Structure 1
Amino acid sequence: MADDGAEKTEQPTSKKLQDAAEKGQIARSKDMGTAFVLIGSATAILVFGKMLAMAILDIGQRMLRLNPKDIFETNSMFTAWGDVAQHLIPPMAGIFFIIVIAAFIGNTFLGGFNFSWQAAGFKASKMSPMKGLKRMFGLQALVELLKSFLKVLVVVGFAYFLLKMFFFDIMALSLMSEPNNIESALHFLAWLFFGLCSSVSIIALVDAPYQKWNHIKQLKMSLQEIKDEYKSSEGDPQIKARIRRTQMQMSMKRMMQEVPNADVIVTNPTHYAIALKYDQGKFRAPVVVAKGVDEVAMHIRKIGNEHKVPVIESPALARSIFHTTKLDHPIPEQLFAAVAQVLAYVYQLKMYKKGKSSRPKSLAKNLPIPEGYRH
């Protein structure tokens, strides 16, 4: 019994469909393209057929009429061809335009417009006789054979029905005088052609859903293929976790390198540690250069002590800055007043240690922290 992971039971993902389209593998119905071209041709003849017939009639009369003056005119042949072009180009251009539009719509209606260099390129596998025999005697070849029989039956049936319906009208053409019989004959022929072309649309209506179903069936995926695709597109979870760890380590190392340059470290005193730096010429407010909890906080305090960075205990302010300010970002405006008191105290303490000022008063325990910024 086949393993469930190997059974192609899942619908193709969008990436699978996109990759297939890049290789030129899209749902296409040749019968739909043929039906659109034939119906478009019939429509073009119905629209421009009379104009084309009259142009041909005028050209025939012009070419078969002998004018004595033209015998001695050396440019008469070129003039005649100019008249032919003048009469034929407008109806032929209209017919050609309708057919081109119909062909484009018919061939892009099912799978959309798609051009693939991979599909257009040379592949040695296409020249393989074995693969050619497989295509000739495979399921797809059998389906195409059945469709061919169905086409013949449908077209012959429609032809018989149309001839039987218009039989007496066609026979009546022999009783009409020229040019009415020509116009009527063209009218009948155009509608007969349109009816025969419309019969092909029945095949297209059956073939288009089948081609869509067959295309999806060929691209179905197994559960393992979906997992492999996810890993290749999103990345292996283990590798991503390793990358995140490496990024965190690099970020931690860079953060610790900034601690010696800090002006003050605000602590909880044990759980939180925030290193602040204030450069009046560069920042409008103090910036958080390092922050952390527990072991990271202890490491920040250790580096600060080694480099004689002032450490101030203010639990409420430490928690507030930690939860409201990102790393390398300035503190929020609502904490300016509280941080300003801390920096002022640190500055006075430095002056005192240098003997340039008296000992500062102890920092206030209840710093001005807004209610919404308390954590």
Structure 2
Amino acid sequence: MSSQERTEDPTPRRHEEARSRGQVVQSHDVASATLLLAGFLVLQGASGSAFTQLGTLMRSSFQQMTLKELTPQTVYERSVALELTTLQILAPLFAALLILGTAVSVVQTRFLLTSQPLHPDLSRINPLNGFRRLFSSRSLVELGKALMKATIIGFVVYRAFVDELPRMLALSQTDLRVAMTMLGGSAVGIALKAGVALFVLGAIDYLYQRRQHFSAIRMTKDELREEMKHSEGRPEVRARIRQLQRQLAQGRSLPNVRKADAVVVNPTHYAVAIQYKPTEMQAPKVVAKGKGLIAQQIRRIAAEAGVTIVPNPPLAQTLYRTVEVGQEIPTSLYQAVAELLAFIYSLRRGRIGR
């Protein structure tokens, strides 16, 4: 297998780079279907009152025009009144659709705002590149998808129309107002079925786009190695790795607490276990240390093992920050540690004497 084949899953950094370029999973069919369904559902629910208001306004306008002298001014006034009322009726619908459309886009792109796709790119206006894109496999796939969607939605609309046809033919025997209401209901019903079909196709398209996006940003083994080198070279990553290594080393050193001569603590935050064997060591050695939860564990183990716990915040903090586990204490701390050990030995002799 070639090292240039994209066989590796994209890293979080790869995802972020693609996102910064505006490459996100998005299906326009989902947005279109959602708006179509929402619009017709609102129309279906509010059509009665909305059309009643429009009908009342139109009748009133025509009645007033017959009572008044028909002049350009009166026609203009009634037209403006009709337009304003129509706008008041439809404004909530348009506002709701605008908010819904924005919400659908936000859900798909997760608040992505980037100008990267708008940057000038001479390759986009190159006729040769445009010709290649026109006959690329991606263009053929998109053409096939469009034909398939048109066929499926056309079939759904046709079946819905056939189902409604007997009802429509019977409208010739009913009152005109009732016939118009029923015809409007049939039209909305057909549109809703088409919207549901489009939404299902949009969901399938979204899954397809997601798979294509994931495949497009997959990485070669060389790219993955380069990114790992780059990531491990970042200061914050190196600091985090060192922190984890220290925590792991501190956790492994907990059994040594039972062999310590003393545990120096900064009442709750720091704990450092010290051991000194004059015949084997040139200076006292730190056998375990920790802060937070590890410090609490060191204190607990020391209490269980009968190791003396000595509160000395300055010494505990200095030892924790300057001496690693397994290292001897520096000469600058000899006196402080010697006084500490002398105090502990005197306590032990006192216990033995009693």
TM superposition score normalised by structure 1: 0.62
Q: CA contact under 8 A between 2:18 and 2:24: conserved in structure 1?
A: yes
Pairwise CA RMSD: 4.1
- After superposition, the Cα gap between the structure-2 partners of 1:297 and 1:59, relative to the gap in structure 1 and judged at 3 Å, is closer
Once the 2 structures are TM-superposed, how far is the Cα of residue 68 of structure 1 from its aligned partner?
6.2
Q: Greater CA deviation, 221-230 or 118-127?
A: 118-127
User: 2:219 matched to 1:208?
Assistant: no
Q: In structure 2, what is the Cα distance between the partners aligned to 1:92 and 1:153? A: 32
1:191-340 equivalent positions in 2, closer than 5 A: 191-235=189-233, 271-272=282-283, 317-318=337-338, 335=340
- After superposition, the Cα gap between the structure-2 partners of 1:99 and 1:271, relative to the gap in structure 1 and judged at 3 Å, is same
**Partner residue of 1:354?**
none
Which AA in structure 2 matches 1:207? D
Q: In structure 2, what is the Cα distance between the partners aligned to 1:208 and 1:157? A: 22
Q: CA contact under 8 A between 1:32 and 1:107: conserved in structure 2?
A: no
Q: In structure 2, what is the Cα distance between the partners aligned to 1:189 and 1:175? A: 19
Which AA in structure 2 matches 1:64? F
Q: CA contact under 8 A between 2:8 and 2:218: conserved in structure 1?
A: yes
Q: CA contact under 8 A between 2:58 and 2:82: conserved in structure 1?
A: no
Q: In structure 1, what is the Cα distance between the partners aligned to 2:37 and 2:348? A: 80
- After superposition, the Cα gap between the structure-2 partners of 1:271 and 1:65, relative to the gap in structure 1 and judged at 3 Å, is same
- After superposition, the Cα gap between the structure-2 partners of 1:107 and 1:131, relative to the gap in structure 1 and judged at 3 Å, is farther
Tell me which of 339, 345, 351 is aligned to 1:366.
Answer: 345
Q: CA contact under 8 A between 2:65 and 2:74: conserved in structure 1?
A: no
Which AA in structure 2 matches 1:46? Q
**Partner residue of 2:167?**
169
Deviations 1:187-238 (A, max 9, x none): 111112212222222321321111110000000012221221122122089x
Q: Greater CA deviation, 171-180 or 208-217?
A: 171-180
Percent of residue pairs bearing the same amino acid type: 18
Once the 2 structures are TM-superposed, how far is the Cα of residue 16 of structure 1 from its aligned partner?
0.8
Which AA in structure 2 matches 1:128? N
User: Which protein has the larger Cα radius of gyration, Structure 1 or Structure 2?
Assistant: 1
Tell me which of 34, 37, 43 is aligned to 2:35.
Answer: 37
Higher helix share: 2
Once the 2 structures are TM-superposed, how far is the Cα of residue 12 of structure 1 from its aligned partner?
0.8
Which consecutive residues of structure 1, in runs of 5 or more, have no partner in the other structure?
245-266, 275-283, 322-334, 342-364, 371-375
**Partner residue of 2:143?**
145
Which consecutive residues of structure 2, in runs of 5 or more, have no partner in the other structure?
243-275, 286-311, 350-354
User: Number of paired residues?
Assistant: 284
Q: In structure 1, what is the Cα distance between the partners aligned to 2:313 and 2:155? A: 88
Deviations 1:49-98 (A, max 9, x none): 33332333233323333556633999745652453245313431232133
**Partner residue of 1:120?**
118
Q: CA contact under 8 A between 1:44 and 1:98: conserved in structure 2?
A: no
- After superposition, the Cα gap between the structure-2 partners of 1:37 and 1:273, relative to the gap in structure 1 and judged at 3 Å, is same
Match of 1:197, SS state, is: helix
Once the 2 structures are TM-superposed, how far is the Cα of residue 272 of structure 1 from its aligned partner?
2.2
Q: In structure 2, what is the Cα distance between the partners aligned to 1:139 and 1:31? A: 21
Q: In structure 1, what is the Cα distance between the partners aligned to 2:92 and 2:198? A: 23
- After superposition, the Cα gap between the structure-2 partners of 1:286 and 1:51, relative to the gap in structure 1 and judged at 3 Å, is closer
- After superposition, the Cα gap between the structure-2 partners of 1:292 and 1:157, relative to the gap in structure 1 and judged at 3 Å, is closer
Deviations 1:158-208 (A, max 9, x none): 122112111111112222213222211211111122122222223213211
Q: In structure 1, what is the Cα distance between the partners aligned to 2:41 and 2:313? A: 76
- After superposition, the Cα gap between the structure-2 partners of 1:367 and 1:110, relative to the gap in structure 1 and judged at 3 Å, is same
Q: CA contact under 8 A between 1:51 and 1:91: conserved in structure 2?
A: no
- After superposition, the Cα gap between the structure-2 partners of 1:297 and 1:99, relative to the gap in structure 1 and judged at 3 Å, is closer
**Partner residue of 2:78?**
80
User: 2:90 matched to 1:92?
Assistant: yes
- After superposition, the Cα gap between the structure-2 partners of 1:100 and 1:21, relative to the gap in structure 1 and judged at 3 Å, is same
Deviations 1:322-350 (A, max 9, x none): xxxxxxxxxxxxx4xx68x8xxxxxxxxx
Tell me which of 8, 11, 17 is aligned to 1:10.
Answer: 8
